[in-house]
């Protein structure tokens, strides 16, 4: 059975060692792209189409750029006045088949929200370990 992946972007970025206190010009975008590439490399084509990242949008200027696609994965940025966690919670609530949803985060608030809806959960650390295992096995390997 395939699952929809809902990923807490900056939480995963933090556990991947890509988050910084301060970024130089373009640094945050580059760090985000490194994370997206790392995940994309080891997902199957089916998984890619069922993967959504959610990031806080402090650095996103227009509503047009709040919804993006990166190599087949959906990227969402929180609207003004909301945090990514708020968006993720709403996506969990709105999901038509939460038992087919896996939330990737180490944030207790999001883990509880997912469990209330009977969605699956995996910590950011465990997800990164799974990505590394897949990379070692050559699963999903796509060219940069």
CA atoms within 13 A on the CB side of 48: 19
Model-level pTM?
A: 0.89
Would you give per-residue pLDDT tens digits along the chain (144 residues)?
Answer: 479 999 999 999 999 998 877 777 777 788 999 999 999 999 999 999 999 999 998 666 555 577 889 999 999 999 988 999 999 999 999 999 999 999 999 999 999 999 999 999 999 999 999 999 998 888 776 544
**Burial readout 52-69 (b: 16 or more C-beta within 10 A, e: otherwise):** bbbbbbeebeeeeebeee
CA distance 99 to 81: 29
* Domains of the chain with CATH codes: 4-137 (3.40.50)
């Amino acid at each position: 059975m395939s699952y929809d992946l809902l990923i807490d972007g900056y939480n995963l970025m933090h556990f991947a060692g890509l988050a910084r206190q301060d970024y130089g010009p373009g640094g945050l975008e580059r760090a985000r792209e490194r994370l997206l590439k790392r995940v994309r490399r080891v997902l199957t084509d089916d998984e890619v189409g069922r993967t959504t990242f959610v990031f806080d949008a402090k650095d996103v200027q227009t509503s047009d750029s709040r919804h993006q696609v990166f190599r087949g994965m959906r990227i969402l940025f929180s609207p003004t006045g909301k945090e990514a966690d708020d968006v993720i919670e709403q996506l969990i609530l709105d999901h038509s088949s939460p038992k087919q949803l896996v939330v990737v985060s180490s944030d207790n608030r999001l883990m509880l929200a997912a469990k209330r809806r009977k969605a699956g959960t995996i910590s950011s650390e465990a997800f990164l370990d799974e990505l590394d295992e897949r990379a070692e096995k050559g699963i999903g390997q796509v060219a940069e």
